[in-house]
Copies of this chain bind each other. A is one copy, B any other.
Amino acid sequence: MIKTASIEEEKKTVSLDALYALIQQDLKLVDVLILERVKSEVPLISDIARHIIASGGKRIRPALTLISAQLCHYEGHRHIALAAAVEFIHTATLLHDDVVDESKLRRGLATANELFGNKASVLVGDFLLSQAFQIMVADGSLKALKILSDAAAVISKGEVMQLMTEGQPETTIENYLQVVLSKTAVLFAAACELGATIAGQDRHEEALREFGVYIGVAFQLVDDVLDYASSSSQIGKNIGDDFQEGKITLPVILAYSAGSREEKVFWIRTLAELQQTPHDFEHALLLMRKHGAIEQTIAMAEKYCTRARDSLSGFTNSKAKSAMLDIVDFCTQRLY
């Protein structure tokens, strides 16, 4: 919906085809392992797990583990299991997240809590997390276990932090970025770092970790924008979902902090008190446009993309590196 002239100029077309071509075989093996693991004599477990895991999504986190391993010339099989563990941690988080957010829709499909109830979502989330740890223990690397258990700890802390800022448009940019780092970026970072770890390339761990952090923050900020500025077909959730759920995201924080007293009252009513009337979303878009909140969020996402590109500078050129740079371009391209 919102396309500024300056953004149009930068437009270029990138796809993730090269990435997925490079990891296609591996990703299939990850899927096989995932489906194997969620097969259960308890039907509710397999139903929910299949629903959430099969419900689309780009498998971007396991893809990052697989491509990072390639970047580090890893030649074994451990990246398959660890990529699956990463996806399990992610889906466990999604299940609990949707319960906490009372979300009804994810990627255009009814959420598990909507279909199966909150109770089942909480418990199957726990089951998926336990599968992740069993996979990691079977892998047998304490270093990989540390990376992912630290990530799980930070994520859960981030979730609680987000709960505490719920309905508070006066949240600072710093606090918001802290939540994004904890909730989203840390798993991207762990996914990437694992590639270097299993390849035994300790000297590249830091760079890949940084790449993950930056691309993770950029993805979240672009998601924030898309919820106010995309067509529903693009991201598979309805535009305005975040607004309807009262989610405090960066565009909101920017519009609120720059807003007049009257505008602040509007944000408080609609997002903190969730008192919304049919034309409020349009008005929200108007206020965001007025203060350039979308453009500022995009600019910040671009900044993180630049940092992500820079963090790969220590790697010599390769197909894997090029595919990872595609991910960076793809991140913001979703906007145009």
Contact = CB atoms under 8 A, between A and B. Distances in A.
Given A99-B122, A100-B122, A122-B122, A130 B142 contact: no
A254 B45 CA distance: 28
Interface in A30-77: 40, 42-45
Given A122-B96, A123-B100, A163-B123, A134 B157 contact: no
B149 A134 contact: yes
A133 B145 CA distance: 9
A174 B62 CA distance: 40
For chain A, which range describes its interface: under 10, 10 to 19, 20 to 34, or 35 or more residues?
A: 35 or more
A164 B123 contact: no
Contact of A142 (B120, B122, B137, B155): B137
Interface-centre pick from A99, A137, A159 (highest chain B CB count, 10 A): A137
A137 B140 CA distance: 11
Contacts of A194: none
A124 to B, nearest CB: 6
Given A42-B157, A42-B161, A125-B126, 16 more contacts: A40-B157, A42-B160, A42-B164, A43-B164, A96-B122, A100-B123, A118-B118, A120-B160, A123-B156, A123-B163, A126-B152, A130-B149, A130-B155, A130-B156, A131-B153, A134-B153
